[in-house]
Amino acid sequence: MHLIIAEKNISANRIAQILAGNEKVRAVKEGSVTTYSFDTKTVVGLKGHVVEVDFEPGYTNWRSEVHTPRSLIDAGTVKKPTEKKIVNLIQKLSKKADLVTIATDYDTEGELIGKEAYELVRAVNPTVRINRARFSAITPAEIRSAFESPADLDFALAAAGEARQTVDLMWGASLTRFISLAARRGGKNILSVGRVQSPTLAMIVDREREIENFVPQTYWMLSLATEKDGVPVEARHTAGRFTDHDAALAAEAGTKEPLVVTDVKEGQKTDRAPTPFDTTAFIVAASRLGLSAANAMRIAEDLYMNGYISYPRTDNTVYPKSLNLNGILEALRGGAFDADIAWVQQHRRPVPTRGKKESTDHPPIHPTGAAAREALGSDRWKVYELVVRRFLATLSPDATWATTKCLFDASGEPYTATGGRLVSAGWRRVYPYSEAKENILPAFSPGERLPIKSVNLEEKQTQPPARYSQSRLIQVMEELGLGTKSTRHEVIGKLVSRRYVEGNPLRPTLVGRAVTEALDNHAETITEPEMTRTLEEHMQLIKQKQRSHKDVVNESREMLHRVFDKLEEHEKEIGEEIMEQTAEEHTVGPCPVCGRDLRIRHLGASQFIGCTGYPECRFNISLPGSIWGRAIRTEETCPEHGLSHVRLIRKGSPPWTIGCPLCSHIASNVEALRMMPSMTDELVQRLHARHIYTVSEIAGMQPGNLTDALGVGSDEAGRLIEEAKDALDILRRRSELRKFIRKIVPPRKGRSHAKINKNLLEQGIGDISALSRADPAVLKKAGIGDAAATELLEAARALCNERTLREAGVPAVSLKKYLAGEVGSPDDFCYLPIPYLSSKTAINPETVHKHVDMVCRYLGRPTPAKVTKAALERGREELLAIPGIGEATVERLYLAGIYNAATLREADAEAVSSITGIPKARLHDYISHLK
């Protein structure tokens, strides 16, 4: 069997189809992996890297004394499978193979992915022949020739990729751990560092600093308005920007009629058709359509998987010779672009446009099939149309413009006006994404005199550089060689998810700035794009076998050790700087009580706003738990309290905007305050004026403090405190009820808990005890279904029973036994005979009597007589001695309070029969036997 390993499933399929020719390809799905077989060949696709490098075991604890962040530099690495199913399948197939061909992409990573596959094969089949097919596009011609003359795997090329892997891991992981530990950040709040992400972040931070430090310069622009044949014309002073106000004023004053045309220059300009799309150019164009980089890529991948466009991750801007451009034009016919295609076919430029970058891995992004608007939906259609139109534009002629430049003289002051007219739209006919702005000047001739309608001197200011948009940043990253076509947009996503940057255009957060500053000061290598360039040079040398992988990695290790020398020396200072600078991120504004800063605090799953004056000032505002989202400060400020607004953010959910935390705190507590019978509007206002907002604050106060705060008498203060305690109790019970219902009847679509709780409250059900006594009809009215209502009632009753018994003093261990014996309600204790309770629970009857006594006293009921253990045992033997009575009957008799011969003799057969279900006749037999 000939095993062919491709880089991904879709290429495996295409390679199989091409190699099979007219033969039918059998696609077999083995679990989640598909193989494509024909003749004696089987093609299987990887998923890019199916193994990853990691440190050898023993380095997982970040705080280990032995395996410090620095020790990662010299730690050994291992490769571990990340796609187990594929790894297993490859190895299963390898055992049967007599030839293996690696057919991964033709680039460094592709060679490395190929080598990974090679090692997987070798591990289970040490002798099989393994060769390599290299092709730059999956077209019949390329694929056939690649398989007709296969080569060997290029181990030097793969080693270059491995060097990158090792260097990235050791720098990234060791520095990430060091900085995170220094700033005491763990879990979701770690501070990551990396060869690509850190310089990218630094660019955003640098740009922000430039903007902050920008000093605007004032300048003046001078223009005049004239007209000819009713057409208004604006001419600018040839001096352009005046930086000297006096000079501008002088020129303005000197601008007088006569205005004479001194020169008219006619020219021509060509407007080059755009070059084929590589990933970056595509992302930039898509961003003009309002799509974020990640979104554009997601949609492009989707279109690619469905056969509408070619592979969207490419650096290539030149169509390869093997690409059948005419064939694609034909394939696109029969849809929305027919007119455009026909025009392009008629006016085809002889050679398609080409960009600066030409690579071998994939062709530029181009359409591969016709699509219907309805089948794609709005966003996907937008992207598809962009790709189609771009393709058409690259085959269209350039646009041409006729230009006019006119010079004027206004009594010695020189002016100019320029005009442009689109002579031939060319590619612009099919690619309408940028506007062709025409400005047609009237026909002027030298010597002609014109009127001056007005002279305008405008004062302007120079502008700071713009923040990076996502697409602009991706362009700059590409220029600097940071990241790859597949990873650039992901890097930006990573910076956002680490909360280093936010917004679009991108702004750094305080954390982002603090980390960049710390690295800039102590480990600048990692914040500079230079590191990537050096690495690439070294990789080049490895590819050319001028240096070894080991040599390059060791040099990098040395450098990283020197970086750590510096870092470790300043560890404390680095940590403190970051912590200090980022504290502000959590500060929301002045404490209403003491004026110090209020800060958002995160403590595991709970979060709140507390005063930095704690414990002197105990003012705090509670926030919903972090399952509802992490609390962050926003830009908005409350005009009344001067506090930043707060928002809860959670992945995959829209943010929950709380607004001013104090306004929200007040609003959500006012209702609770009003639950206190003596509370009045006026009192609420007085409480607020003293920064007392919650019932629990009042409940926790001393009467004296409240008298001072509100100016009320001590009796009233005492009463208010008692009322607050009561209100607190009611609230506590309500919240308990809510949690209880949520646990038994979880919320789901169409069953709003807010609504259920509100309805129940309106029906007077405010705690679990009231719920246990509720009429099922009421629950149904509140929006709980029949089955759920029954379950809820039962659970509530059980809980209330258990509570009553516990409150009466029944120990928890015994309670468990009663519940297990199904005699767990207070009524069971009061009305069931002690022998029965004892036999159901295997608890000593004297102990049962003690418990029954507790419960009866607690409920104000009479306690039944005691039965000793000895008496019970003796009685049992008496009963068992009677013919026809066995263990089961004894237990039933217990239910009627009969536990010995004496009690049986005096029993009323009729009543006992109805309780125990033993036929009257048999009871009479027992009794007569005794007699």
Partner DNA sequence: GCAAGGTC
Interface with DNA, residue 472, by CB under 7 A: no
Interface residue with DNA, options 226, 279, 368, 484 (CB under 7 A) = 484
Strand partners, 602: 607
Scored b (16 or more CB within 10 A) or e, 426-457 reads bbbbbbeeeeeeeeebbebeeeeebebeebeb
Q: Compare residues 60 and 346 and give the one whose CB is closer to DNA.
A: 60
Among residues 36, 308, 311, 926, which one is catalytic? 311
Q: Side by side, which strands form the sheet with 620-622? A: 587-590, 597-603, 606-611, 620-622
Q: Per-residue x/- mask for DNA, residues 298 to 337, rule CB under 7 A?
A: ---x---x-------x------------------------
Q: Compare residues 165 and 634 and give the one whose CB is closer to DNA.
A: 165
Distance of alpha carbon 701 from the chain centroid: 43
Smallest distance from DNA to CB 419, Å: 47
Smallest distance from DNA to CB 616, Å: 31
Q: Compare residues 61 and 454 and give the one whose CB is closer to DNA.
A: 61
Q: First CA to last CA across the chain, in angstroms? A: 96
> Both tokens of residue 133?
């097919």
Interface with DNA, residue 494, by CB under 7 A: yes
Interface with DNA, residue 429, by CB under 7 A: no
Beta-strand ranges (E) seen in 803-856 are none
Smallest distance from DNA to CB 321, Å: 22
Do residues 29 and 9 lie in contact, with contact meaning Cβ atoms separated by under 8 Å? Answer: no
Interface residue with DNA, options 14, 73, 83, 638 (CB under 7 A) = 83
Residues 2-21 close enough to bind DNA by CB under 7 A: 7-10
Interface with DNA, residue 615, by CB under 7 A: no
Smallest distance from DNA to CB 593, Å: 34
Interface residue with DNA, options 2, 49, 596, 753 (CB under 7 A) = 49
Interface with DNA, residue 363, by CB under 7 A: no
Interface with DNA, residue 491, by CB under 7 A: yes
Q: Compare residues 176 and 841 and give the one whose CB is closer to DNA.
A: 176
Choose among 488, 484, 461, 582: nearest CA to 203: 488
> Both tokens of residue 850?
């003690």
Size of the site for DNA (CB under 7 A): 56
For residue 572, CA distances in Å to 662, 796, 816 come to 36, 55, 55
Choose among 146, 143, 151, 148: nearest CA to 17: 143
Q: Compare residues 363 and 845 and give the one whose CB is closer to DNA.
A: 363
Interface residue with DNA, options 262, 360, 487, 814 (CB under 7 A) = 487
Region of 23-31, 194-202, 563-571, 630-638 interacting with DNA (CB under 7 A): 194-202
Interface with DNA, residue 360, by CB under 7 A: no
SS (H, E, C) 168-219: HHHHHHHHHHHHHHHCCCCHHHCCCCCCCHHHHHHHHHHHHHHHHHCCCCEE
Interface with DNA, residue 59, by CB under 7 A: yes
Interface with DNA, residue 135, by CB under 7 A: no
> Both tokens of residue 138?
């999956």
- Catalytic residue at 415? no
Do residues 507 and 152 lie in contact, with contact meaning Cβ atoms separated by under 8 Å? Answer: no
Other Cβ atoms less than 10 A from the Cβ of 199: the count is 25
Smallest distance from DNA to CB 334, Å: 28
Region of 60-68, 136-144, 658-666, 848-856 interacting with DNA (CB under 7 A): 60-68
Choose among 767, 773, 810, 764: nearest CA to 794: 773
Interface residue with DNA, options 102, 193, 332, 611 (CB under 7 A) = 193
Choose among 385, 377, 444: nearest CA to 417: 444
Smallest distance from DNA to CB 511, Å: 14
Interface residue with DNA, options 185, 390, 499, 522 (CB under 7 A) = 185
Cα–Cα dist 602/281, whole Å: 42
Residues 141-180 close enough to bind DNA by CB under 7 A: 164-165, 168-169, 172-173, 176-177, 180
Element (H, E) at 13: helix 9-20
Interface with DNA, residue 196, by CB under 7 A: yes
Cα–Cα dist 400/427, whole Å: 10
For residue 325, CA distances in Å to 140, 248, 279, 330 come to 15, 57, 20, 9
Region of 488-496, 715-723, 752-760, 901-909 interacting with DNA (CB under 7 A): 488-496
Do residues 33 and 46 lie in contact, with contact meaning Cβ atoms separated by under 8 Å? Answer: no
Catalytic residue positions? 311
Task: Enumerate binding residues for DNA (CB under 7 A).
Answer: 7-10, 45, 47-50, 52-55, 59-63, 72, 82-83, 105, 107, 109, 113, 164-165, 168-169, 172-173, 176-177, 180, 185-187, 190, 192-198, 301, 305, 313, 483-487, 490-491, 494
